[in-house]
Structure 1
Amino acid sequence: MIQFALPFPAIDPVLFAVGPFAVRWYALAYIAGLLIGWQLARYLVSRPALWGGTSPMQPNDLDDALFWATFGVILGGRTGYVLFYNLPFFLEHPDEIVKLWHGGMSFHGGLAGTLVALVLFARARGIRVFSLLDVAGVVAPIGLLFGRLANFINGELWGRPADVPWAMVFPTGGDVPRHPSQLYEAGLEGLALFIAMLIAVRMGALKRPGLAAGLFGIGYGIGRIVGEFFREPDPQLGFLMFGSTMGMLLSIPLVLAGAGLVIYALRRPVP
């Protein structure tokens, strides 16, 4: 018997279409996250006081960094999904790897791809690597917020069965009320983390290279682990060791790396 559940808001995943060309909410979320994050990043580097008197880069540097970051997100996100979430399928169907419109992106892979891209960009431009990563850490929650909201609109990545008053029956989740875990993650990894990062900036985090990037790693990792307790594991993987999920296991190293970066940043003298 179906328990009481809120009706799922049936929002068309396609915002609008012109002939064969369709604009989807998911793609729009990526674009909005990148563009809004880019504008905020330009604002941050144009305020020398936030950096202790001298900004380590110019706003125009971020115009090119946006291209590098976009490439890193797409390439890394797809590679991470292929390797960690569905490798047997892609080994049997290698042509599906490039079909991004079929879905399948990994945040941890996208993070790794963006990290590599930004490090290469910073070295090519002579920019302090940790400072560029700090900027990325402050603005990244914006993209996470939009991305999780798009997951909700698409009715994907839904949560585990639940009897809470706000449980929903998702179109592809069977007739069982489930946690709207996409909204939980939007709140934790997106809105709450973004507010925390802005508070850190206000308290002088950008004056210590690596501190904001480390705080982001800790905040996202913890938020993702908490969210995974409510999210249904990917069906091809299920639960892993000790009842964990792939998202949890990939987040643990991120938390540890973030903590190490915070300790490193706090122990070094302010430039």
Structure 2
Amino acid sequence: MPVFALPFPVIDPVALQLGPLSIKWYGLAYVVGLLGGWWYARKLAAAEALWGGRRRPEVDSLDDFLLFAALGVVIGGRLGFVLFYNLGEYLANPLEIFAVWKGGMSFHGGLVGAAAGLWVFAIRRGYPPLSALDLGAAVAPIGLFLGRIANFVNGELWGRPAPDVPWAIVFPHGGPVPRHPSQLYEAFSEGLLLLVLLMIVVRVGGLKRPGLVAGLFGIGYGIARTTCEFFREPDPQLGFLFGTSWLTMGMVLSAPLFLAGLVLVLRRKEPAEA
């Protein structure tokens, strides 16, 4: 028998029921995350002193900024899940690729999609792409935080067995074994902590160096996600990779993100180059 175990705080995954229409916490997290990011992006874009005179997305263009980011998140997130997490199943049933209401999104795919969307947005509007990416990176942890909280509410993506951890939780679909609440670990590290760190970087002049905030986001997320993967149960259809007892797809996909972030930080422009 486990020494420690907390009961799962059962919360209805449906946040709001309007007749036949049900709004789930996970979908609500996406919407609120995007809107919260849009609101914070407007505050940053309007603060001239944070940019040091550099050209950046204007406040009245941020509706399009939100649209391109949202499309990128949804399309990239779905394609990333199909390609990296369940390719065999979707090749056998290709129409299921479009059944997004059944769930199945990849953060790394969504990130690539959002970055591509913001790059297109910047080119179409005549803004420096790196400044658009910096703005998106500064606000992205808001959505990450809410998304991981929604994962916890849904009782999904739970952690590895942790019978001796006082805060371990028995998840309703995770068997009788107490597990790490890894969703909360990710909400704190990838979301709240990264948001605060990037806020500090922005306040000390990070947006004056195009690519710096986006690069630090890539580095920070890569480190946080890889660390949390040691506490998170690997995806059941994949398990541990390459015959190891520790390597997961989340770690593999975080490595190029970390490296891309490192390249951006090392190649950032100094304020004098504006």
Q: What TM-score bracket applies, with the shorter chain setting the length?
A: over 0.9
* Cα offset, 1:268, TM superposition: 7.8
Q: Which residue of 2 aligns with 1:170?
A: 171
Mapped pair 1:29 → 2:15: no
Residue 157 (structure 1) aligns with: 157
Distance (Å, rounded) in 1 between the aligned partners of 2:240 and 2:57: 44
Work out whether 1:144 is the aligned partner of 2:144. yes
Cα distance in 1, alignment partners of residues 251 and 86 from structure 2 = 16
The 8 Å contact of residues 13 and 153 in structure 1, kept in 2 or not, is answered as yes
Query: TM-score with structure 1 length normalisation?
Result: 0.97
1:113-262 aligned at under 5 Å gives the runs 113-162=113-162, 163-241=164-242, 242=244, 243-262=246-265
CA–CA separation in structure 2 for the residues paired with 1:94 and 1:71: 21
Matched residue, 1:69: 69
Q: Is the 8 A contact 1:181 1:230 kept in 2?
A: yes
Q: CA RMSD in A?
A: 1.2
Pairwise CA distance, 1:97: 1.1
CA contact (8 A) 2:55 2:127 kept: no
Paired with 2:63 and 2:268, the residues of 1 have a C-alpha distance of 27
Q: 1:195-253: CA deviations, max 9, x gaps?
A: 00000001100000110000000001110000100000000000013431000000011
* Aligned counterparts of 1:57 and 1:147: Cα–Cα separation in 2: 26
How far the C-alpha of 1:267 sits from its partner, in A, is 6.2
Task: Quote the Cα distance in structure 2 between the aligned partners of 1:14 and 1:65.
Answer: 29
SS of match in other structure, 1:53: coil
SS state at 2:268 partner: helix
Q: Which amino acid in the other structure matches residue 254 of structure 1?
A: L
Distance 1:221 1:159 in 2: 18
Summarize the Cα distance change of 1:216–1:182 in structure 2 as closer, same or farther, 3 Å threshold.
same
The 1-side partners of 2:19 and 2:12 are apart by 16
| Structure 2 Cα separation of the partners of residues 3 and 95 of structure 1 | 46
| Equivalence for 1:96 | 96
Confirm or deny: 8 A CA contact 2:55 2:128 kept in the other structure: no
Q: TM (normalized to structure 2)? A: 0.96
Q: How far is 1:255 from its partner? A: 0.5
1:266 deviates by 5.0
Structure 1 position 54, deviation (Å): 4.7
User: Could you tell me which residue of structure 2 aligns to residue 82 of structure 1?
Assistant: 82
Of 260-269 and 2-11, the range deviating more from structure 2: 260-269
**Partner SS, residue 17 of structure 2:** strand
Q: Which deviates more, 130-139 or 261-270?
A: 261-270
Which structure 1 segments of 5+ residues have no match? none
Post-superposition CA distance 1:160-183 (Å, at most 9, x none): 000200000001100100000000
Identify the range of structure 1 (142-151 vs 113-122) with the bigger mean alpha-carbon deviation.
Answer: 113-122
CA distance in 2, matches of 1:268, 1:247: 35
SS of residue paired to 1:201: helix
The separation in 2 between residues aligned to 1:36 and 1:264, in whole angstroms, is 30
- Does the CA contact (< 8 Å) of 1:122 and 1:129 recur in 2? yes
Deviation at 1:269, TM superposition (A): 4.3
User: Could you say if the C-alpha distance between residues 94 and 3 of structure 1 is closer, same or farther in structure 2, counting changes exceeding 3 Å?
Assistant: farther
> How many residues are paired up?
271
- What's the offset of the Cα at 1:65? 1.1
Give the drift of 1:96.
1.4
1:57: how far off?
Answer: 2.5
Distance 1:94 1:20 in 2: 28
AA in 2 matched with 1:176: V
Indicate if the aligned counterparts of 1:13 and 1:25 stay in contact, CA closer than 8 A: yes
Report the secondary structure of 1:239's partner residue.
coil
Q: Distance in 1 between matches of 2:85 and 2:145?
A: 22
Q: Percent sequence identity over matched residues?
A: 60
AA aligned to 1:64 is D
